[in-house]
Amino acid sequence: MGRIIVADDDELVGKIVSNTLMSAGHAVGWLPDGASALSVIRNRPPDLVILDCNMPGMSGIHVLQQLRKDEKLYEVPVLMLTARTGRQDENIARFSGATDYLRKPFLPLDLVERVNSLVAGNRWTL
């Protein structure tokens, strides 16, 4: 399966996402902030990045923008996993380069299906 980096400042969400995806056969690393996630991603690019929009310091949108500016990381798929529910928030994320967008709360099965699709190379979902 895939190697996934999850950045979310909510420890409970981080654990749920990590455990759900590990149970589905993925290797998952969870980080509580965007700056740490960006550093890890740059050091060893994963197969997928999952970002929360709202994190202290560096937001998920800012991490996403940095990934899309880096030629080594440009094509790494990014799933935004966020409590932001507005259509405009999703449009901003997609305009910034998000591959997919999933709102919290989420169904674990929905998360696994989306992640499996993104890791398999079925990118740029609607």
pLDDT given at position 122:
62
Enclosing domain of residue 65: 3-119
In a domain, 34, yes or no: yes
pLDDT of residue 83: 87
pTM: 0.94
Strands (E), 8-122: 27-31, 48-51, 78-82, 100-103
Question: How far is the C-alpha of 105 from the C-alpha of 110, rounded, in Å?
Answer: 11
Mean pLDDT of 40-55: 96
Q: Is residue 125 part of a domain?
A: no
Which residues neighbour 83 within 8 Å (Cβ) at sequence distance 6 or greater? 53, 54, 103, 104
What are the tens digits of pLDDT across the range 57-76? 899 999 999 999 999 999 99
Q: How many CB atoms lie within 10 A of CB 74?
A: 10
Phi, psi (rounded to 5 degrees) for 44: -150, 95
In a domain, residue 14? The reply is yes
| CATH number of the structural domain spanning residue 109 | 3.40.50.2300
Residue 126 resides in a domain: no
pLDDT of residue 126: 42
Number of domains in the chain: 1
CA dihedral 92, 96, 99, 103 (to 10 degrees): -30
Establish if 13 belongs to a structural domain.
Answer: yes
Predicted pLDDT of residue 86: 79
Establish if 93 belongs to a structural domain.
Answer: yes
Say which residue the tokens 């990934």 belong to.
67
pLDDT tens for 16-35 read 999 999 999 999 999 999 99
- Confidence band of 85 (pLDDT split at 50, 70, 90): confident
94 pLDDT more than 60 = yes
